[in-house]
Amino acid sequence: MDTDRKLIKFSASTGFSVVLEFGNIEEMKEYEEKIKGSGLQCEIIPNFNLNFDQADLFMDMRSPECRSQFDIEDWI
């Protein structure tokens, strides 16, 4: 079982710091390419803790509810 977290962090066009968590590498890379393609900085991060790390928005893209509420085009 794959236990590595698949996280990317970027500064959105709105100025917010956004962290997204994915269930697979392919989807993470797809979002990373969209973000970088829009000219924004994006980085893969090894870990994230909601209690201690800073982000204006954290979305768990493994959740169907989060996926339906988050539109990457609104942030890039």
pLDDT tens digits, one per residue of 27-73 = 999 999 999 999 999 999 988 888 788 899 999 999 999 999 999 99
The C-alpha angle with vertex 58 and arms to 53 and 64, in degrees rounded to 5, equals: 145
5/17 Cα distance (integer angstroms): 18
The bridge status of strand 42-45 relative to strand 17-22 is: unpaired
Identify the helix (H) or strand (E) that includes residue 29: helix 25-37
pTM of the full structure: 0.89
Residues 6+ positions from 33 with CB-CB distance below 8 Å:
none
What number of residues does the chain have? 76
